[in-house]
Amino acid sequence: MTATFPDVSHLRGNFAPLLLEADAHDLVIEGEVPAGLSGSLYRNGPNPQYPPRGQSHWFGGEGMVHAFHIRDGRVSYRNRWVMTDKIRLEREAGRALFGIFNNPMDTDPSVQDKDPSLANTHIVWHAGKLLALEEGHAPVTMAPRSLETEGPWDFGGVLKANFTAHPKVDPETGEMLAFAYMAAGPASPDMAYYVIDRDGKLVRQDIFQAPYSAMVHDFLATDRHVLFPVFPLTASLERAMQGRPFFAWEPEKGSHIGIMARNAGVDSIRWFQAPACYVFHPLNAWSEGDRVIADVMKYDVAPLFPAPDGTPASGRDNPTRLVRWTFDLAGNSDSFKEEALDDQYAEFPRLDERRAGLSYRYGFAAGRSAITGPDGDNSFDTLLRYDLTGGSKDSFVMPEDQKLSEPVFVPRDADAGEGEGWLLATAYRPRENRSDLVIFDAQAVGDGPVARAHLPVRVPYGFHGCWRPDE
């Protein structure tokens, strides 16, 4: 590699790529790994192997998966790139070949018809498959222990469109619910809805039209309904061909939330409307009689993306807050109620997945002790635990400028009550330029980690992760 990475905020510090695949077989443990915690924590995030072509964005790096295998109080670590066709082609060329967000203006002519999958956003375990996910392409399967890439997975050849980075698993039926946006190609308003049974068979896929083409990063599901949120972070191929942003903030288009009963067809979707806002990640949703209630992390303006002319759409003071939306399906209005649940800047919300789509009490998130950090620093230094029934919050601020990833909840055992278990995250230690795996008691977050596994390398800031219990 002869070129250097540009000096931009999303390629600096712990956002910078880790150009190393490594194994650490027995990490030094500070504290004590909880007895009975046995399985693997996986994390995924963007990790570019070459300097970008044309425009650059944090979301545009190739996926790198970090695995922590935990058993008998010991922890091992392994990280591997998700070996997509994109990575292989660029390694052969020794340089980046694909433009950001598949922009044809910045893509080398030699790969215009090649698969640009990044597989860089999430990783989930379902029906015996470890799936690396992003929202533009099919899942990529990986071996759960070695992290060897096995290849794209189109559910036996029946997947008609792309897939989401955020499927939902129904804890009662074992079904995986999923969706896709731009399902008919770049900047199309088409969306897809999928149902995958507990054995991994794709049993339903429907296509419908959204109000406009937009980045739909996540969606919501209850035991009886699915919600498709469309916010005005719009997509435009024409805009990209003119050298302007493919994704841009157009608040005049407003927000639209489509709700459909899970046992109904897509022609029954009912669209609710609200002023412009943006949600990358909901916490949970549930159905209650004729109402659907959704708890989400809401921005007033979509962060990290520009206005259509390329100028910044939001400033640094654009915090996300936890709010509750209530939809009245028996009413005649297309509006819905909003109430604030917390005023602290937080993101990457998670819950005890045994209550996914059901009424629940506890939520967890990565938060900030201050609204803004250093210039361009989108990191989080606080672990949050919400008691949504009691109306309280527990928190722990990391020492020595350490920064936290999204927390992943693991039940203490199969019979544990809601929220009884452990929270696992990575913590970047900037003074040492390396990371730890940190383990918290989910019922005593304010006490700090009960254990740390010290890594000899850093885990770059990434997106999402999952837990796979040992069989």
H or E segment and range at residue 168: strand 168-169
Q: Helix, strand or coil for residue 171?
A: coil
Which of the pair, 317 or 355, is modelled with greater confidence? 355
Q: What is the largest CA-CA distance in the chain?
A: 63
Question: Around Cβ 343, how many Cβ atoms within 10 Å?
Answer: 9
Residue in 210, 214, 209, 304 with CA at minimum distance from that of residue 251 = 214
**Phi then psi dihedrals of residue 87, to 5 deg:** -60, -45
- Look up residue 156 and give its amino acid: G
How far apart CA 342 and CA 133 sit, in angstroms, is: 30
With 70 as the cut, is the pLDDT of residue 148 above it? Answer: yes
Question: Residue 56: its pLDDT value, please?
Answer: 86
The answer to whether position 270 is within a domain reads: yes
Is a pLDDT exceeding 70 seen at residue 304?
Answer: yes
Provide the pLDDT for residue 314. 83
Is the distance from CB of 386 to CB of 393 less than 8 angstroms?
yes
β-pairing verdict for 233-235 and 247-249: antiparallel
Segment 346-370 mean pLDDT = 96
Please determine, for residue 173, whether its predicted confidence score (pLDDT) is greater than 70: yes
Q: Tell me the pLDDT tens digit for each residue of 16-55.
A: 999 999 999 999 999 999 999 999 999 999 999 999 998 8
**153 falls within a domain:** no
In a domain, 323, yes or no: yes
* Helical residues (DSSP H) of 77-190, grouped into ranges: 85-93
Residue listed under structure tokens 């910045």: 106
Q: Which two tokens stand for residue 363?
A: 């939520």
Asked if 227 and 292 touch (Cβ cutoff 8 Å), the reply is yes
pLDDT at 372 over 60: no
Q: Residue 315: exposed, middle, or buried by beta-carbon count in 10 A (0-12, 13-18, 19+)?
A: exposed
Residue 308 lies in a domain: yes
What percent of the chain clears pLDDT 70, i.e. is strictly above it? Answer: 98
Total Cβ atoms within 10 A of residue 3: 11
Give dist(CA 377, CA 375) in Å, integer: 6
**Does 465 fall in a domain?**
no
* Lowest mean pLDDT across 104-118, 176-190, 429-443: 104-118
Range in 32-36, 84-88, 315-319, 437-441 the model is least confident about: 315-319
Bridge partners of residue 29, in order along the sequence: 453
pLDDT over 50 (residue 272): yes
- The burial class, CB within 10 Å (0-12 / 13-18 / 19+), for 325 is buried
Which two structure tokens, joined as six digits, stand for 50? Answer: 């070459």
Count of structural domains within the chain: 1
Residue 201, token pair as written in the block: 């068979």
Q: Is the C-alpha dihedral spanning 167, 16, 58, 324 positive or negative?
A: positive
231 lies in a domain? Answer: yes
Percentages helix, strand, coil for the chain, rounded to the nearest 5?
10, 40, 50
Does 179 score more than 50 pLDDT?
yes
- For residue 104, the model assigns a pLDDT of 78
pLDDT tens across 207-240, in order?
999 999 999 999 999 999 999 999 999 999 999 9
For 265, the domain range is 170-341
Q: How confident is the model at residue 171 (pLDDT cuts 50, 70, 90)?
A: very high
Residue 212 lies in a domain: yes
- Per residue in 273-282, pLDDT tens? 999 999 999 9
**Phi/psi of residue 240, nearest 5 degrees:** -65, -40
The per-residue pLDDT for 2 is 67
Q: What is the pLDDT of residues 238-270, one digit of tens each?
A: 999 998 999 999 999 999 999 999 999 999 999
pLDDT category at 371 given cuts 50, 70, 90 is low
Q: Is residue 208 part of a domain?
A: yes
Q: Which of 422, 471, 455 is nearest to 66 (CA)?
A: 455
pLDDT at 375: 45
Which DSSP letter does residue 175 get?
P
Encoded amino acid at 137, one letter: H
Q: 441 with 23: CB under 8 angstroms?
A: no
Above 90 in pLDDT, residue 411? yes
Of the candidate ranges 93-107, 131-145, 202-216, the one whose mean pLDDT is the lowest = 93-107
Mean pLDDT for all residues in the chain: 95
pLDDT at 157 over 90: yes
Instruction: Provide the percentage of residues in the chain whose pLDDT is more than 90.
Output: 90
Q: Could you tell me if 158 and 138 are in contact, meaning their C-beta atoms sit under 8 angstroms apart?
A: no
